[in-house]
Amino acid sequence: PITMETEKVSPSRSETLFEQARAVIPGGVNSPVRAFRGVGGTPLFIRSAHGPYMTDVDGKRYVDYIGSWGPMILGHAHPEVLAAIHSVIERGTSFGAPTELEVEIAELIVSLVPSIEKVRMVSSGTEATMAAIRVARGFTGRRKIVKFIGCYHGHGDAFLVKAGSGVATLGLPDSPGVPAEVSQQTITVPYNDLAAVEAAFAAYPDDIAAVIVEPVVGNMGCVPPRPGYLQGLRDLTQKHGAVLIFDEVMTGFRLARGGAQELYGVLPDMTCLGKVMGGGLPAAAYGGRADIMDCVAPAGPVYQAGTLSGNPVAMTAGLTTLRLLQQPGVYEQLDRQTKKVSEGLLQLIRKAGLPATLNRVGSMFTIFFTDGEVTDWDSASKSDTALFGRFFHAMLHEGVYLPPSQYEAAFMGLAHTDEVVEATLAAAERALDKLAY
């Protein structure tokens, strides 16, 4: 018999590192979605990133449509951000005492975000949302919060109930370790359904402290609010004396200078911010009406603190990023380029005979592999995730790095030029050709 000599393919550097990582880090990653469980395969280990590109440890370059899951709106390693970080780092990296930079960024945020009168810095979006509901509870003296199925607000106990992308991707229902007594205080209702919120208020007329919402959802893939939905939430919370919290960790400074609240003209009582405002360093914030924020210690009795809160290096990256976003035409460019690439991809996928639905708001978008309209978690979860996984890997092979889950929004940045968009669409044509076989 003829024996075939099998070609020995040596493992890539990413595969080797992933094996090493799994021995010492749970699942080999420091945040679950990075592990590629939603699409299969080995995650890429990244060595460096510049502009719209990331380069892995094997030296292959990818067009990046994740942007560190939102922050890198200016593109990676922006020279002005790097220069600002370099200059401030010379003066020390953490003082545990107030700095001028914190006043500057607070003033800028208050001037940009329509509903924020006072703001407190924290180090992650999770901290921002956890603090916001504590303050809302302290302010109202009530216990319950309403959240929407498929919305993600970080990994605080109260939010790990029907929490969208990361949890859904892993197929975990709710997380063990969250006491039932805690999750029972969280009422979950479908997104884009005002009647369900009304029913929640009818069931607990005097016990709902806050309604927290991603004004444009990113964590079941991109799902925009129906016309009038956000205003409906505003009216209902006002009527029932509950605090309306917009979780703008993803949408803040991304969809407009003042975030989704500016874009849709609806003002919440409190807002959570993160991602873009840290310019790629750990910074986040929560803010809102002065009477509510004055409940926060030391002005008021609701405790919240942080060793690295308002860290000067993170504040500098954030301030520089926010200032660069004040240039004219920035949001128009983001919108134009994202429209071009997302509609181009949609056309190519449909031309290949595959089911696809595009949702986009500004520089956030998702192509769902389903024919139906996607307006909430139920309709999002009708997507063909196996097909998405094949498309994801075909694109990765062609040098385009999409979010490794059907239920995560893709993000564009200012470094995604026409040339980058064209290269992405050419890659998609090749990828879809191969998928057909």
Catalytic residue among 275, 286, 331, 407: 275
Cβ distance to ligand PLP smaller for residue 152 or 377: 152
State yes or no: residue 152 binds ligand PLP (CB under 6 A).
yes
For the CB of residue 284, give the shortest distance to ligand PLP in the complex, in Å: 6
Shorter beta-carbon distance to ligand PLP: residue 314 or 356 = 314
Among 247, 262, 269, 398, binds ligand PLP (CB under 6 A): 247
Q: Which of 125, 258, 287, 403 binds ligand PLP (CB under 6 A)?
A: 125
Residue from 14, 99, 115, 124 touching ligand PLP (CB under 6 A): that is 124
Shortest Cβ distance from residue 63 to ligand PLP (Å)?
21
Of 64 and 247, nearer to ligand PLP (C-beta) is 247
250 lies in the binding site for ligand PLP (CB under 6 A): yes
291 is catalytic: no
- Residue count at the site for ligand PLP (CB under 6 A)? 16
Among this protein's residues, is 247 annotated catalytic?
yes
Q: Which residue is nearest to ligand PLP (CB)?
A: 125
As measured in angstroms, the least distance from the Cβ of 122 to ligand PLP is: 9
Check residue 118 for interaction with ligand PLP (CB under 6 A). Answer: no
Member of 99, 129, 342, 405 binding ligand PLP (CB under 6 A): 129
List the x/- string, 213-242, binding to ligand PLP by CB under 6 A: -x---xx-----------------------
157 in active site = no
CA 409, distance to chain mean position in Å, is 8
Of 164-203, which residues contact ligand PLP (CB under 6 A)?
Answer: none
Q: How far is the CB of 412 from ligand PLP (least distance, A)?
A: 16
Q: Which residues are catalytic?
A: 152, 247, 275
Q: Which positions touch ligand PLP (CB under 6 A)?
A: 69, 124-126, 129, 152-154, 214, 218-219, 247, 249-250, 274, 284
